[in-house]
Amino acid sequence: MSKTIAIVSRKGGVGKSTLCANLAVVARDATILDCDDQASLADWGDRRGNNSPLVIAVPPKRAISTLEKATTDWNFIDTPGTLDAGIIEVMQASDFVLVVLRYGQFDLDSVSTTLSAVRLSQKPAAIVLNLLHPNTKSQDLITNLEDAQLGYPISPHAVCSRADFQQAAAQGRGVTELEQSSKASYEIRALWHWLQQQV
């Protein structure tokens, strides 16, 4: 049975599209719905030159009807940095919501708005820390977020900002296709393994 994960954040620039592309690559049999006006993933799909994963650029209001036609095992919805009624409907049509968070004060200030929208969807969700500095002790930050009692589980697997992500994106690839033994590949595979257990 097909499973759908909506990837959301009220803030732009947190790396939703990059995470979406890389998770879809490791999921293998996947469709990406690119609901962001910037169409970054549609461009990535064009560079990729194949339909694995299949990337469909679609406005949020048509995402649900498009989702109903999907035949892949996994569907990922890349959402824009807005959380209006249309995005809440997209979350409601999903099986799981992944909230992407950078660990900075402005991002922490805005996460409550994102989580309020997630609560309205009444869907299971989790938070993942993304774009961390590679030298950051991610476990300390994860513990800090858990202590903040945000109401949703925090992924034990954070993702750092690494050059491999930019290099892979430029080639229309995922980091796991670029270099399987890299730290970026490890982080994506670890997050995906954990995420599958949550959905």
**Rounded mean pLDDT of 131-147?**
83
Residue range 2-16, pLDDT digits in tens: 999 999 999 888 999
Query: Rounded distance, CA 56 to CA 41, Å?
Result: 9
Q: Report residue 104's pLDDT band, with 50, 70 and 90 as the boundaries.
A: confident
Higher pLDDT, 83 or 41: 41
**Rounded mean pLDDT of 79-84?**
91
**Rounded mean pLDDT of 135-142?**
81
| Strand ordering across the sheet containing 54-57 | 54-57, 30-34, 74-78, 3-8, 96-101, 125-129
Whether 66 shows a pLDDT value over 80: the answer reads yes
Domain span at residue 99 reads 3-190
Q: Report residue 67's pLDDT band, with 50, 70 and 90 as the boundaries.
A: very high
Query: Rounded distance, CA 13 to CA 91, Å?
Result: 20
What is the pLDDT at residue 136?
Answer: 81
What is the pLDDT at residue 59?
Answer: 94
Residue range 153-164, pLDDT digits in tens: 999 999 999 999
Domain count, the chain: 1
Query: Rounded distance, CA 49 to CA 42, Å?
Result: 11
Instruction: Evaluate whether residue 10 is within a structural domain.
Output: yes
Instruction: Evaluate whether residue 195 is within a structural domain.
Output: no
The answer to whether 99 and 27 have CB atoms below 8 angstroms apart is no
Instruction: Evaluate whether residue 66 is within a structural domain.
Output: yes
Q: What does pTM read for this prediction?
A: 0.95
**Rounded mean pLDDT of 164-191?**
96
Instruction: Evaluate whether residue 196 is within a structural domain.
Output: no
Residue range 32-65, pLDDT digits in tens: 999 998 899 999 999 998 889 999 999 999 999 9
Instruction: Evaluate whether residue 197 is within a structural domain.
Output: no
CB hemisphere CA count around 4 (13 angstroms): 22
**Rounded mean pLDDT of 193-197?**
97
What is the pLDDT at residue 141?
Answer: 82
Instruction: Evaluate whether residue 45 is within a structural domain.
Output: yes
Q: Is 76 helix (H, G, I), strand (E, B) or coil?
A: strand
Instruction: Evaluate whether residue 199 is within a structural domain.
Output: no
Average pLDDT, the chain: 93
CATH number at residue 65: 3.40.50.300
Higher pLDDT, 32 or 135: 32
What is the pLDDT at residue 89?
Answer: 96
Query: Rounded distance, CA 141 to CA 24, Å?
Result: 26
Whether the ω angle into residue 53 lies within 30 degrees of 0, i.e. cis, is yes
In the chain, the DSSP E strands lie at 3-8, 30-34, 54-57, 74-78, 96-101, 125-129
Q: Report residue 108's pLDDT band, with 50, 70 and 90 as the boundaries.
A: confident
Instruction: Evaluate whether residue 59 is within a structural domain.
Output: yes
CB neighbour list of residue 21: distance below 8 Å, 6 or more residues apart: 32, 41, 44, 169, 174
